[in-house]
Structure 1
Amino acid sequence: MASPRPTPVEPLPHLANTELRQAQARALPPELGPNAIALVNGATFMYSDQTGDVPTTTIGGLVHADTRLLNRWELTLNGARLMTLRSTVLEYYLGQFILTHPAMPGIPADSLSIRRLRHIGDAMHERVEIESFLGDPVRCELRLAVGTDFADLFEIKSAVTDRSSWIRRDHELDGSGLCFRYEREGFHAESRLRVDPPADRIEGDELVWDLTLACRRPWTLDAELLLPRSVHAAPSVRADIDDVFHNRVEHPARNWLAGGPSLHSDNTTLNRVAMRSRWDLTALRLEFDGDGKRLALPAAGMPWFLALFGRDTLLTAFQTIAGNPRLAKGALLALAQSQGRTCDDFTDEEPGRILHEVRHGELTRRGAMPYRPYYGAADATQLWLILLSEYWRWTMDDDFVRALRDNITAALHWIDHYGDRDGDGYVEYATRSPEGLGNQCWRDSSDGIRFADGRMPVLPIATCEVQGYTYDAKRRIADLADGPLGDPELAARLRAQAHDLYERFNRDFWIDGRGGYYAVGLDGDKHRIDSLTSNLGHLLWSGIVTPDRAGQVARQLTSPAMFSGWGIRTMSHDDVPFNPIGYHLGTVWPHDNALAVLGLVRYGFRDEANRVTLALLDAAAEFDFRLPEALSGFDRQRTRVAVPYPTACSPQAWAAAVPVTLVRAMLGLDAVDGRLVVDPEVPAEVGRLHVSRILALGRRWDIEATGTTGSVRPSPD
């Protein structure tokens, strides 16, 4: 007997408090300056200014598992701040700050060199080296000021709760370290710092060394703050920081990279973008115990989104599966473990639903925030099914699919009985939570879904791409039902449901005006939300577009109103809400474009796909060969340079995965019935493409293509 459909709820307005929090989480910290340095490892990041300092008035600091363990970290010499000669992120987990100093009594300017090395692993380890180049010994005072507020991640960019009365200090009498402890209503956090050599004295929360520096006799300080193990940790190395700096130890990141494929082409930009992508995806991976081993999955973005997400993690894993399926397996299992089991209005949890976001900070643990996890995504459940299908196609791992049978059943049940809130055959969203998301699609800002004339739609909303994902998911799971699941009755039922959705969607969402296009959604009154958006590309990717309309959709996506020259805009230039720096109202999102590229290839529009691909590669070159989360939608002919979106995450996982998708599209690479096939159309600007050591179907493969000619062969090793 089918479970009853959930009781309809009054649609909540788009929630200003939630969107404000999201905007704050995406904002860059002006207090740290444009050259701020961020180091990351798993769920840990350290954000400082270019001297390596974190003043208390900034949003910088050491954050681990959504709790700030350090909000002050300042090094001074004779009371003076140091000056930067050069600061560099050497690896995503390793930074170097080369500093000097102003003139001081008895010490001319620039006569001492100061170097800070910082490594994020299972501890935050910093080495400070000071060397004098004066002929006579010089006396000076080095001071390290340390502080913590144990702020929740969501507070860091807004109002931080004053926890000082709950913070206990247990500083070492011998000067060897400081310890801060915080415990309140069951939440506990600790920052324990060890230093070698011990400080000569401790003044409040400041460690002080009285130094006498002989000429060219370096003095060294090692400081280490151990990190508690988190749910989703990253592999790290326990070694002397100098050995890490000189690559004298085997770092897990390099082992991970060695296990992936490599790309070479005649296009230097593509080569550099692909290499940057590999490092960024390595930096953003989280690890957890599952399936009897350590598994990895991608976090959403750096620095504020180092957590398990639904949509972001799934789309990143999908995009990278053509290179290596390891991230996909980890994402599938981690999300299956947290699949919804009950109805919870505060977290928007429903049975079978795949989560949107997980957090571990105090506000979540004490119930003020719903991220324990939060389930407010209308598309993550379908994307989980799509990724499972894709993983099976690239691995033919029947046992893995069968082990997730119950999760598949629950996900399908959610789509039909909870996702479809009013029984009209479409998946809609409307949050029940006072802290929930107003928009639960990928355009999740408060104004991400608008009518062409600027009006805001009423909830619940059924967006077009969510229906496309639902169609694709049911067709794909029908194939699994015919295959490893051994359930032909389920296969027939899903194909019939998908066909019915296909027919109804193409009747209800299509708009004949403006050259023909699909509405971005249906609002709560079943009115077509008639803005022209990049979601059309998602529809091509899903296959829900009828063949006779595919040409119209492709022309819309590459029209001057939609295509900026750097990529496809999220909204047409001709719509009233258009804004080239509006978060979802005219910006260019690389991952959004990558899905459109896959969709264009699916329907045979290879020239259009390559046009978008080359534009994205040009854009990456404008951003030091790293595609950001989003870039502004200004016309390329007008500005001649790509304009950054002011608060984009960088690196951001689904943007970092885009180069893999673009290469797959150019190669026409796919896994079909246990075989790797290519149907290349490589543009002349790229020339020869060679991808080696792709992991698929239980072994490694090499692929080479030029123009429309390509080959697949087993790797020699």
Structure 2
Amino acid sequence: MEPDPPVEDQWYVTATSTKSEEPSRVLKQGDTFGVFDRHGDIFQAGPNGEGELTQHGLYHEGTRFLSHWELRVNGQRPILLSSTIKQDNSLLVVDMTTPDLYRGGHLLIPKSSIHIFRSVVLWEQARYEHLRFVNYGEQPVDLIIELLFAADYRDIFEVRGVHRSRRGTLLPATVGEDFVVLGYEGLDRKTRRTKICFDWRPQSLDGTRMASTLRLASRESRHLHLSLYCITGEENPRRCDYYQAMASVGSAMAALDAQVAKVFTSNEEFNDWLQHSGADLDMLITQTPEGPYPYAGVPWYSTPFGRDGIITALQTLWIRPGLAKGVLAYLAKQQADHYDPAQDAEPGKILHETRSGEMAALGEIPFSRYYGTVDATPLFIMLAGCYYRRTGDVAFIETIWPNIERALEWIDRYGDSDGDGFVEYSRHSANGLVQQGWKDSTDSVFHADGSLAQGPIALCEVQGYVYMAKRLAAELADMQGFKEQAQRLLREAETLKRRFNEAFWVESLGTYALALDGDKRPCQVRTSNAGHALFTGIADPDRAERVVEALVGKESFTGWGVRTVAESEARYNPMSYHNGTVWPHDNAILAAGMARYGFKYEAMILLDGLFESSIFLELRRLPELFCGFPRLPGQGPTLYPVACSPQAWASGAVFQLIQACLGVTFAPEKPQIRFSHPRLPRYIEWMRIEDLRFGDQTIDLMLRRHANDVAINVERKEGDIEVAIVV
């Protein structure tokens, strides 16, 4: 049978050459983020922001509040010398100079005479900018400083490529002596404004341009400061200056840093990967009323996602448990309490994503509060159980226990709608997601001949999540004295494990099927999904080795990581979003599963691949995904054109990989930190873990690699905490 033709996916992120020609610079703080070019400017493809849209802009709550921002000196764009994001992601720093500047055919200012320093910081829905001009020439100069600007107020989904038949109205600019306000009246009846403030009085200012003349003597320098505020409705954002914004960002980052254990190694390149990954997580974390929450990624997913937030919290639970508590509290608050097919919502179901832009408010997209995910609900229970194992925080578990029970009820009543013991999904919303697992492209679930599976669909990995969720929920029930409920959950989990291994195992492939379709036919396709059965423990031990062999075999492993779909399969495409690419978070989960079944060597193969790929990437930043082409000598991984970077669960991957190789677990009843068959890769001689917290207790550990094992020494301990090693 021939594969089905490509299926239109209305939420597909379009890719064009202009979106990926030049590396971008990304800043994020709270609900505001910016994507700039290396100069710190914002450009669209056409003149004055018209024509083809790019992802560049300053965004707040899902809307682009600044679509054009361009610095010119004497009518020319400065020459870039260097551009970098500070290691903690707090600041964009750019060094530039001027080209040869002429007037009337005569050289007025020779190139490299003027140094231009630019720095940008985001704080509380505003961009603060510092410009410094220094004249290193021997003659005084007159510099005409221009800033060109525009705001198109496009929803992030418009920028992604979704067409709108109608838009709101751009408002006339309001111009003062040292400020200008741009505005937009949306179809949602919300007014959005961008207020641009200057700390000097420009000589010329209107709704698209600011111009000022600076006269600089030889060796003289001048400093200019400006700010841009994103304002919705009647908001009156708190104004501060550049230096106050810098101080506030620093204080917020220090507070985050104090809650996280630190990991250092003998390998400086590995340390760079660790430090940049941690900094990316810090940047993506947003403080909600319920606590910290990692937004999924910039630019397309800078908002709370249930699945992404949970997996990121699981990845980093061993070093930053406070993040898991924030994720659980937020998702408990957002848990569905009624049936709403337009939002794919059912009582007890955990959120997929929430959006606050104009299109979400109008219902043009279903994601204002959308529940079209089959896995977030069991993952929520998993995270709650793992959080208790990590912290022993009985009081918090008791506060969310009603949410856990409602999630369990959703699994049995709505998740398993046909009563066959497996959790399936099908779309109820007219324009929601067709596929509702983590591989949510429309063409991601298919049979061996390439034909698309028809629902309701029971995914391989979801059955594992449900199995682990019920086992962990049983522990939580038992801890609270609900013995009968605990025993029932354990029986249900064991029944599911037996039936899963009967229904999903494909002997001819030596692995588990991707899914069961609506007729209970297995999708006999080699995918990375099978590795999630190892992660959750639902796989039979006598089948684990064959699953591992399939994952690290040449059809699936590229040298950088495991592909989502093996190259032998009908819909394999190394450039497809979910059908052949390599996802760092997926590989971290696979490594954790391999380690769980004792395959530490194979787990370290995946660690090696991702570490070595990070060496080729700017800022050591693993993107959301990269292409699944085989690794070639001397070449890095092939980038996917519209991948989010940074992405929360890609940033969290390194921490889950370390935990898998070290076998780190926690026993709250002792309390005890356990290392099961710890291993370190060949390029790390030692690893130091500082400020590893267990409640009020803290410990520092030094791990040293030997020929056949790892030695662990306690260097500092505050409190009665044990360290146990299983070899």
Superposed, which structure 2 residues align to 1:252-267 within 5 Å? 252-267=252-267
Maintained 8 Å contact 1:15/1:446: no
Q: Which amino acid aligns with 1:79?
A: G
Q: Which residue of 1 is the match for residue 23 of structure 2?
A: 35
Q: In the superposition, relative to structure 1, how do residues 506 and 162 fare at CA in structure 2: closer, same or farther (>3 Å)?
A: closer
1:22 matched to 2:12? The reply is: yes
TM-fit CA distance, 1:15: 11
Report which stretch shifted further, 558-567 or 132-141: 132-141
Q: Which residue of 1 is the match for residue 46 of structure 2?
A: none
Q: In the superposition, relative to structure 1, how do residues 586 and 425 fare at CA in structure 2: closer, same or farther (>3 Å)?
A: same
Partner SS, residue 588 of structure 1: coil
Q: Which residue of 2 is the match for residue 44 of structure 1?
A: 32
Report which stretch shifted further, 281-290 or 706-715: 706-715
Maintained 8 Å contact 1:237/1:252: no
Q: Which of residues 108, 111, 119 is equivalent to 1:109?
A: 111
Give the Cα separation in 2 of the matches to 1:201 and 1:237: 27
1:457 matched to 2:459? The reply is: no
Q: Which of residues 360, 364, 370 is equivalent to 1:368?
A: 364
Give the Cα separation in 1 of the matches to 2:371 and 2:700: 40
Partner SS, residue 410 of structure 2: helix
Maintained 8 Å contact 2:190/2:232: no
Partner SS, residue 28 of structure 2: strand
Give the Cα separation in 2 of the matches to 1:413 and 1:419: 9
Q: In the superposition, relative to structure 1, how do residues 712 and 427 fare at CA in structure 2: closer, same or farther (>3 Å)?
A: farther
Count of aligned residue pairs for this structure pair: 690
1:289 matched to 2:262? The reply is: no
Report which stretch shifted further, 103-112 or 322-331: 103-112
Q: Which of residues 318, 322, 330 is equivalent to 1:322?
A: 318
TM-fit CA distance, 1:409: 1.3
Q: Which residue of 2 is the match for residue 177 of structure 1?
A: 180
Identity of aligned residues (%): 34
Maintained 8 Å contact 2:662/2:679: yes
Q: Which residue of 2 is the match for residue 10 of structure 1?
A: none
Report which stretch shifted further, 57-66 or 634-643: 634-643
Superposed, which structure 2 residues align to 1:607-686 within 5 Å? 607-624=601-618, 625-636=620-631, 641-674=636-669, 675-679=672-676, 680-686=678-684
Q: Which residue of 2 is the match for residue 96 of structure 1?
A: 93
TM-fit CA distance, 1:636: 2.4
1:396 matched to 2:397? The reply is: no
Q: After superposition, what is the alpha-carbon deviation per residue over 1:206-260, rounded to whole angstroms, capped at 9, x for unaligned?
A: 2222333333332332211224599xxxxx9986535777x89843113322331
Q: In the superposition, relative to structure 1, how do residues 612 and 496 fare at CA in structure 2: closer, same or farther (>3 Å)?
A: same
Report which stretch shifted further, 440-449 or 28-37: 28-37
- TM-score (normalised: structure 1): 0.91
Q: Which of residues 377, 381, 392 is equivalent to 1:381?
A: 377
Give the Cα separation in 1 of the matches to 2:209 and 2:165: 20
Superposed, which structure 2 residues align to 1:212-227 within 5 Å? 212-227=215-230
Q: Which of residues 274, 290, 303 is equivalent to 2:299?
A: 303
Q: Which residue of 2 is the match for residue 4 of structure 1?
A: none
Partner SS, residue 128 of structure 2: strand
Q: In the superposition, relative to structure 1, how do residues 699 and 640 fare at CA in structure 2: closer, same or farther (>3 Å)?
A: same
1:356 matched to 2:352? The reply is: yes
Superposed, which structure 2 residues align to 1:242-641 within 5 Å? 250-290=250-290, 295-484=291-480, 486-514=481-509, 516-624=510-618, 625-636=620-631, 641=636
Report which stretch shifted further, 171-180 or 614-623: 171-180
TM-fit CA distance, 1:681: 2.4
TM-fit CA distance, 1:135: 4.0
Q: Which amino acid aligns with 2:98?
A: H
Maintained 8 Å contact 1:451/1:529: yes
Maintained 8 Å contact 1:667/1:681: yes
Report which stretch shifted further, 215-224 or 189-198: 215-224
1:201 matched to 2:191? The reply is: no
Partner SS, residue 304 of structure 1: coil
Q: Which amino acid aligns with 1:689?
A: M
Q: Which residue of 1 is the match for residue 189 of structure 2?
A: 186
TM-fit CA distance, 1:388: 0.3
Maintained 8 Å contact 1:66/1:361: yes
Q: In the superposition, relative to structure 1, how do residues 465 and 267 fare at CA in structure 2: closer, same or farther (>3 Å)?
A: same
Give the Cα separation in 2 of the matches to 1:360 and 1:470: 31
Give the Cα separation in 2 of the matches to 1:639 and 1:250: 39
TM-fit CA distance, 1:580: 1.9
Q: Which amino acid aligns with 2:270?
A: L
Q: After superposition, what is the alpha-carbon deviation per residue over 1:562-619, rounded to whole angstroms, capped at 9, x for unaligned?
A: 2222222211222122222222222221111111111111111122222222222222
Q: After superposition, what is the alpha-carbon deviation per residue over 1:134-157, rounded to whole angstroms, capped at 9, x for unaligned?
A: 444433432222211211111113
Q: In the superposition, relative to structure 1, how do residues 97 and 429 fare at CA in structure 2: closer, same or farther (>3 Å)?
A: same
Give the Cα separation in 1 of the matches to 2:269 and 2:138: 49
Q: Which residue of 2 is the match for residue 687 of structure 1?
A: 685
Give the Cα separation in 2 of the matches to 1:336 and 1:29: 41
TM-fit CA distance, 1:523: 0.8
Give the Cα separation in 1 of the matches to 2:577 and 2:166: 34
TM-fit CA distance, 1:370: 1.3
Give the Cα separation in 1 of the matches to 2:417 and 2:165: 42
Q: In the superposition, relative to structure 1, how do residues 448 and 107 fare at CA in structure 2: closer, same or farther (>3 Å)?
A: same
Report which stretch shifted further, 157-166 or 667-676: 157-166
Q: In the superposition, relative to structure 1, how do residues 229 and 395 fare at CA in structure 2: closer, same or farther (>3 Å)?
A: farther
Q: Which residue of 1 is the match for residue 64 of structure 2?
A: 68
Q: In the superposition, relative to structure 1, how do residues 595 and 156 fare at CA in structure 2: closer, same or farther (>3 Å)?
A: same
Q: In the superposition, relative to structure 1, how do residues 703 and 649 fare at CA in structure 2: closer, same or farther (>3 Å)?
A: same
Give the Cα separation in 2 of the matches to 1:241 and 1:612: 43
Report which stretch shifted further, 203-212 or 57-66: 203-212
Give the Cα separation in 1 of the matches to 2:198 and 2:26: 22
TM-fit CA distance, 1:439: 0.9
TM-fit CA distance, 1:32: 7.2
Maintained 8 Å contact 2:474/2:487: yes
Q: Which amino acid aligns with 1:117?
A: S
Q: Which of residues 137, 141, 144 is equivalent to 1:138?
A: 141
Give the Cα separation in 2 of the matches to 1:681 and 1:458: 43
Partner SS, residue 282 of structure 1: helix
Give the Cα separation in 1 of the matches to 2:407 and 2:267: 42
Give the Cα separation in 2 of the matches to 1:243 and 1:643: 41
Q: Which amino acid aligns with 1:569?
A: R
Q: Which amino acid aligns with 1:317?
A: A
Report which stretch shifted further, 203-212 or 582-591: 203-212
Give the Cα separation in 1 of the matches to 2:312 and 2:629: 26
Maintained 8 Å contact 1:66/1:153: yes
Partner SS, residue 490 of structure 1: helix
Q: Which residue of 1 is the match for residue 120 of structure 2?
A: 118
Gaps of 5+ in 2: 44-48, 719-727
Report which stretch shifted further, 699-708 or 299-308: 699-708
Maintained 8 Å contact 1:694/1:701: yes
Superposed, which structure 2 residues align to 1:146-185 within 5 Å? 146-158=149-161, 166-185=169-188
Give the Cα separation in 1 of the matches to 2:334 and 2:230: 25
Q: Which residue of 1 is the match for residue 725 of structure 2?
A: none
